[in-house]
Homo-oligomer: A and B are copies of this chain.
Amino acid sequence: MNILLANPNTTASMTRRMEAAASAVVGPDTRITAVTAPYGPPSVEGYYDEALCVPPLLEAVVPLARGADGVVVGCFDDTGVDALRCRLDVPVIGICQAAMQSAAVLSNTFSVITTLQRAVPALERLALHYGFERRCRRIRAAEVPVLDLEDPDSGALAVIEDEIERALEDDGAEAIVLGCAGMVEFSRILSAKFGVPVIEGVTAAVKTVEGLAALGLKTSSRGGYAPPRRKTYSGDFARFSPE
């Protein structure tokens, strides 16, 4: 089985970290192909970056996805997931939905620790969209920029630990969801340290897609995820025209 893991930002080192984590958890017959956005924002921090990372993501993913059995979007904003579901028939999931659904199996309530306050409203909207507006008690910003997570000396981990402590004390959270692909390796350390499930979305998403693909399930092509109507896009975006 082939799973395409797409990083919608252009930071290749983050892609490599996601790929390593993903490869460590899939079955023996599953191959992870990781792809980095070929151009655009180096990190996704809020609505504006989010909007601009989708076309490069689609450009990278759609051709590669032909041979894939499932696609994971490695950004906690689940950027471009709906557009991809229209273009592909294999299962597509973002790491936010995957992590929240996993948390909903392992706990009654959870809090999310994400990077920056400016990202919080978009994540609250996702929590509502996915049905977790009651279980997700709070989305906490550690105020760590995404790319600081690439730097082991940034002190990011300590700040995240502080937020987890507050989530457990103040929010009534029974589990923690890490709200950024850049936190991909922190899950086990933090689970061990705090004695609660600390769920990371990249690995959760890869296993979810691997499972759905094994069941032969496809994305619905009825309704909102119907393939886009054939039409000719103009100018710079002619290459995106749905054939």
Chain A residues at the B interface, C-beta cutoff of 8 Å: 10, 25, 27-29, 38-43, 45-52, 54-56, 58, 80, 82-83, 85-87, 91-93, 97, 101-102, 104-109, 116-122, 124-125, 128-135, 145, 168, 172, 174-175, 187-188, 191, 195-197, 199, 203-204, 207-208, 210-212, 214-226, 228-229, 231-238, 240, 242
Shortest CB distance A22–B (Å): 11
Complex Cα–Cα for A221 and B220 (A): 36
Asked if A54 and B56 make an inter-chain contact with CB atoms under 8 angstroms apart, the answer reads: no
Asked if B43 and A231 make an inter-chain contact with CB atoms under 8 angstroms apart, the answer reads: yes
Asked if B133 and A134 make an inter-chain contact with CB atoms under 8 angstroms apart, the answer reads: yes
Query: Are A25 and B106 CB-contacts (below 8 A) given A85-B47, A222-B174, A237-B56?
Result: no
Q: Which of B28, B38, B39, B224 contacts A122 (CB 8 A)?
A: B224
Closest 9 CB pairs of A and B: A131-B131, A39-B235, A207-B211, A121-B224, A108-B121, A47-B82, A48-B228, A51-B83, A174-B223
Q: Which of B55, B86, B212, B215 contacts A55 (CB 8 A)?
A: B55
Shortest CB distance A23–B (Å): 12
Cross-chain pairs A/B with CB under 8 angstroms, 16 sampled: A10-B234, A27-B214, A46-B228, A46-B229, A47-B225, A52-B58, A54-B54, A56-B235, A93-B105, A106-B220, A108-B223, A117-B226, A121-B223, A196-B220, A196-B222, A207-B214
Shortest CB distance A124–B (Å): 8
Query: Are A51 and B58 CB-contacts (below 8 A) given A25-B215, A217-B106, A225-B174?
Result: yes
Q: How many copies does the complex hold?
A: 6
A80 and chain B: residue at smallest CB distance = B51
Residue in A129, A215, A238 whose Cβ sees the most chain B Cβ within 10 Å: A215
Query: Are A215 and B203 CB-contacts (below 8 A) given A86-B46, A121-B108?
Result: yes
Complex Cα–Cα for A86 and B44 (A): 13
Shortest CB distance A38–B (Å): 6
